Amino acid sequence: LVSGGAEHTYYTDVVVHVREKGILNLKAETFVEGGGSEGGVQSTLGLRNPLGAGEQIRGGISYGTKNSNSYSLSMLMPHISTPLFPVDMKIAIDEQTHNRQIFSSYDELLKNASISLSDLSGAHSLGYVSSWRDIIPAKSSEIPYQYDCSSAIMQQARPSFKSSINYSFTSDSRNDLIRPTHGKLFRFCTELAGLGGDVNFSKTELTMQAIDPLFPGWPIILGLTFKTGLLCPLSAISNNLVAANTRPSSTLLGSNKAGFNSFISDRFFLGGPLQLRGFEHKGVGPRSYETVGAQGGDSLGGDISWQLGANLIFPLPSSLLDAAGIKGQLFMNAGNLTEWGASVRTIVKGARVTVGTGLVLPTPIGRLEATWSWILRANGADQQKRFQLGVGMDFI
């Protein structure tokens, strides 16, 4: 610190010496997805400021414990001038393979290319995605050349191509992403597919969350969360084309009362720890009723989803647990997942409801929960699981 002199005694000059980080950035870390249904490791090699304008080029690779894997390459170009305001632009390509056999008896192969523009705060994002997807049904381990999946999955077992634009808005004032004690989250995402290819839909998702102490100054934290999603095939928007659709209604995936069809790659799934607790991951909603496929029937996903969650996070009467950051939790969850064409009555009255208690621990890879649930309302085909361990960043 250097004084500004006698004539400016209230000024102080601050001299800051900075050193630019090296151009190479190598990072390795673990990840968990599906509420803890699969974990793995991923590594990223990045180049910082390779062209002198703050760019970032990253290449990544990941491997999961259940043979899921991904390869990605992206470039971020910050502070690009536009006639309206500066934006950040990101261009990315990736290839992903996901193992869905435990819950739905198929593997999914994705090849994506995307470009997105976001404002400097990251609140608004507008993008385009080109995605080639392929559903690969599970093969029988006993009989060669035979598939071990439901006819619903076989109906979807073909490549599809999605060309879509998407927009998202996020406002997040929570003081912590894993175990916040106050703040609000509002997230709105919408996607329109049909700019080419054979996938046509409008998809909207909304998340609202409010977290605050139960009473001012109390260490007991109340959290309220509402999430909903709507996947509407474009054929359903254009003047009731039910009669023009000649596919028969059945229990197969993509068939529903309205006669419209959606791809399993685009549908919502419901159930699992940190989400609709007390049910298996993807354990709620439409499923097959055949003897082949996943245990209890292949989970098929749905077009209309909603979730409601309320929880109380409180300190435990143990200094050891408190020092470790472990808190207690009481929760209530409700939600439903249905196909397009379901009535409002069905969407609301078909809700599954659970209450329970558990422990919460923040970790470097996400929010770790151990919970026990009492299931108050369920469907006979739902996959229930009272005691659950889960970890992730997204929770209700």
C-alpha span between 278 and 378 (Å, rounded): 10
Rg (C-alpha) for the chain, rounded Å, is: 24
Q: Return the beta strands (E) in the chain as ranges.
A: 2-3, 12-13, 24-33, 38-48, 56-64, 69-80, 87-99, 106-119, 124-137, 159-172, 183-197, 201-213, 221-233, 304-314, 327-338, 352-363, 366-377, 387-392
Helices (H), the chain: 101-104, 151-156, 319-323, 344-349
What are the residues whose beta carbons fall under 8 Å from the beta carbon of 311, sequence distance 6 or more?
222, 223, 329, 330, 331, 332, 396
In three-state secondary structure terms, 36 is: helix
pLDDT tens-place string over residues 184-205 = 999 999 999 999 889 999 999 9
Q: What are phi and psi of 286, to 5 degrees?
A: -55, 140
pLDDT tens-place string over residues 113-144 = 999 999 999 999 999 999 999 999 999 888 88
C-alpha span between 151 and 289 (Å, rounded): 10
Quick check: 279 and 269 in contact, CB under 8 A? no
Angle (CA) 319-322-326 rounded to 5° is: 140
Q: Is residue 364 pLDDT above 60, yes or no?
A: yes
Residue the block writes with tokens 């354990």: 283
pLDDT tens-place string over residues 46-79 = 999 888 888 999 999 999 988 899 999 999 999 9
Residue type, 318: S
Instruction: Provide the mean pLDDT of the chain.
Output: 88
DSSP-derived letter for residue 317 is S
Q: What is the mean pLDDT of residues 95-119?
A: 95
C-alpha span between 48 and 196 (Å, rounded): 35
pLDDT tens-place string over residues 235-267 = 766 544 444 444 443 333 334 443 457 899 999
In three-state secondary structure terms, 7 is: helix
Q: What is the mean pLDDT of residues 387-392?
A: 91
In three-state secondary structure terms, 178 is: coil
Long-range (24+ apart) CB contacts under 8 A made by 310-315 are 310/222, 310/223, 310/224, 310/225, 311/222, 311/223, 311/396, 312/214, 312/220, 312/221, 312/222, 312/223, 313/179, 313/220, 313/221, 313/223, 313/360, 314/219, 314/220, 314/221, 315/219, 315/220
What are the residues whose beta carbons fall under 8 Å from the beta carbon of 44, sequence distance 6 or more?
25, 26, 27, 28, 58, 59, 60
In three-state secondary structure terms, 72 is: strand
Q: Closest Cα to residue 157, out of 196, 200, 106?
A: 106
Q: What is the mean pLDDT of residues 364-390?
A: 92
C-alpha span between 59 and 240 (Å, rounded): 46
Q: Given pLDDT bands bounded at 50, 70 and 90, which one contains residue 36?
A: low
Q: Is residue 4 pLDDT above 60, yes or no?
A: no
